[in-house]
Structure formats: C-alpha cells, structure tokens
Amino acid sequence: MSTSASSTSSALTFDITPRVDPVTEAEREVILSDPGFGNYFTDHMVAIDWSTDEGWHGARVQPYGPLLLDPAASVLHYGQEIFEGVKAYRHADGSVWTFRPEQNGERLQRSAYRLALPELPVDMFVESLRQVVQIDEAWVPSAPETSLYLRPFMIANESFLGVRPSQRVAYYVIASPAGAYFQGGVTDVSIWLSTQYSRAGRGGTGAAKCGGNYAASLLPQREAYENGCAQVLFLDSENGNRIEELGGMNVFLVKSDGTLVTPEINGSILEGVTRDSIITLAKARGIHVEERPVTVDEWRAGVADGSIVEAFACGTAAVVTPIAELKSDEFTLTMPPVEDRVSMSLRQELTDIQYGRIPDVHGWLVRLDAGETTEA
C-alpha cells in the first residue's frame, strides 16, 4: 500500500492511505438524506495492530473494506471480541464534536481486561476517533438529531485453535452515518421481560461490552418481537427478580416525588456513559438519584399505588426512550400517562449539550474536526 500522508498522535503515527474511488458527493448526499442506522459506512477506517512482541503498532487510516482473516483466527472460534459505540455530532457552526470519549476509552480498557485483550491507551482511542472523523468529515450529517456513529472494536486474530488469549489482535474504527433514531418524534416502547433467559451472571462478562453478550441476547430479543415488544428487559440470574438492563440500554424508574431509581453497578450491568450523564444532569437539578437493587415487584407495586410514574431506557444510540409497558408471560404493566415527563426533559438537556445548543458546563464535549483539537 502506498502511503500518501501521515499524522501523529502522542504515541503513534497514523499512515494515511486515501481511498482512490470514494463515494461521490451526489451519492453521499442521497445516503445522508436518509441514513437509517448502521446501513452505510464511510470511505475510510482506522486500523491498529497489536502483538505480544511488538505491542501496538501499524496505526493507519485506510480505505473501508473487508478484512482478510485466517479461518483459524481465534475471534471466529472463541469470540474474543469487544466494541464501543460513540457518536460525532455536527454543531450549527459546522464543527464536529464527540461526547465524553475518554469514558468510552476507559470502558474499552475494562472490557479488554475482562476478555484478556490488550488495553489500548485512552489517548490513542480518542485519536483514532479523530482520525476517522477528520478524513470522512463530509459524512457527518447535519440534520437535527443525526450523527456519525463510530464503532471502535477489537478482535483476536491469531491463527491458533488452542484456547488461550490471542497473541495477535487488531483494533479498528468504522463509521456509519445515523439518522434521527425516532423519526417524527420520540415514541414510547414496549419491553419484554425475559424470565427464561439471562444476559449475564455473577462473575461473567455482563459489565464488558463484548459481542458475546449480544449473541446471547438475540434469542430472547426474537421472543420480544414475537410478543410485540421492541426490546428485552433482563433480570439478575441469581434471584430472577431484580431488574438489570435491556440488551443494550440501561434502565431508570421515576418516582412521583421526582426521585430517579436505577439498578446499581453490580458487576453484571454495563456501565453506560448515558446512564452516568443522566445521573449527573439529574443531580445538578437537585433530583435525588438512588442506585440500588430494584425488583420487578417494586416496579409493579409502585405503578399500582402511583409512586412510580415513569420508566425509561438510555444509551448512546437512542439517548432516552420512554417505556410505555412491560410485558411478560404473566402480566402486562402499563405506565400511566404523564405530562412534562422528567425522562423527556433530561433527554432534551442531554441532546442540547451534545449538539452545542446549550453551554457544556460539565466539560463533556471534545472537538474532532480539523478546525481545532482542544477541548471545549
């Protein structure tokens, strides 16, 4: 491959090989007018290699395209894989920003540790996002509530069928323009309560963002669809009565006195950046936030006696999604109609920060486009 440019981060130099046949501006405009989610990918990707001998090396920006994997690559057999989900947001002045990327970088390190993968330094992680956004900046949409969704991931690619941590690993970042998650306004969702399947157990990989957790959620997810629900709520595997989270989103309840209640980080729940941001914004408003075990019985009793008035899910992709009902084999719990919902007001504040519509008082935004590289 010919290298036509290079760009240096604090620790690594990225060799840059631009694509010779990029998507035309006209084609890209068609895609950006209705990208959906996860359907289209930008012209370039980032790749960094790792081996036990050389550590992190070979950082590069290359044309987006298929990976060449040996059929014996360990990721294909033992699922040694982790990922992240991050968005780049275009502000009204054209600049491009991301939200708390060091949180994702640190979480990728925690996931790596649990999956016996190497830990990518956080500054290299943030630089990898910057590299892909700078070369493909034209792919960041500008319509309201749209973004460029960034998907960093790491795979074990040693050709070896013995069961042990891979001695060769690759890290990539791909980027996909994302439309407004809810077209025509946020809609409430119905959630299926999975009583048969768990997503994570004590000492398992529930707190790591790894593909295997998602693989395990697909069968209950199908059950949810068959029951008219969009997502699955998983319970703890020990007692089977504490709510944990959805397949890819954390969960909150809102009490009639305004208190927010969410399951505490217990080793089997994924520690969402959105979850943490919601807690911070709520506390700044003087809202009391309880992180503690929450049972389905408490939720049902609270709705019955009027002390629990809202439920919502949160994550980077959909931000905040109000839950309309919780269904299971045995019951359907319908949330009451509420005006001026706390969930929607927190959603508004969070997206206003992300899109630069209100001041970033928490210092959460990091600029990614070439205009400037300092923090807000």
Ligand X SMILES: *Cc1c(COP(=O)(O)O)cnc(C)c1O
Residue ranges that bind ligand X, judged by CB under 6 A: 85, 209, 245, 248-250, 270, 272-275, 315-316
d(CA 15, CA 93): 30
| 7, β-bridge pairs | 14
DSSP per residue, 151-183: EEEEEE--B--SSS--SEEEEEEEEEEE--SST
The alpha carbon of 355 is separated from its chain's Cα centroid by a whole number of angstroms, namely 17
Closest to 110 measured CA to CA, from 174, 198, 175, 205: 205
Output the smallest distance, CB 85 to ligand X, in A.
5
Q: In the complex with ligand X, which residue's Cβ is closer, 22 or 152?
A: 152
Q: In the complex with ligand X, which residue's Cβ is closer, 16 or 246?
A: 246
Q: In the complex with ligand X, which residue's Cβ is closer, 157 or 250?
A: 250
Output the smallest distance, CB 58 to ligand X, in A.
28
Q: In the complex with ligand X, which residue's Cβ is closer, 83 or 160?
A: 83
Q: In the complex with ligand X, which residue's Cβ is closer, 252 or 299?
A: 252
d(CA 128, CA 136): 13
Output the smallest distance, CB 348 to ligand X, in A.
17
Residue pair 272/237 in contact (Cβ under 8 Å)? The answer is no
If 0-12 CB within 10 Å is exposed, 13-18 middle and 19+ buried, where does residue 306 land?
exposed
Output the smallest distance, CB 242 to ligand X, in A.
16
Output the smallest distance, CB 313 to ligand X, in A.
9
Q: In the complex with ligand X, which residue's Cβ is closer, 134 or 250?
A: 250
Residue pair 329/196 in contact (Cβ under 8 Å)? The answer is no
Output the smallest distance, CB 181 to ligand X, in A.
12
DSSP per residue, 51-66: ETTTEEEEEEEEE---
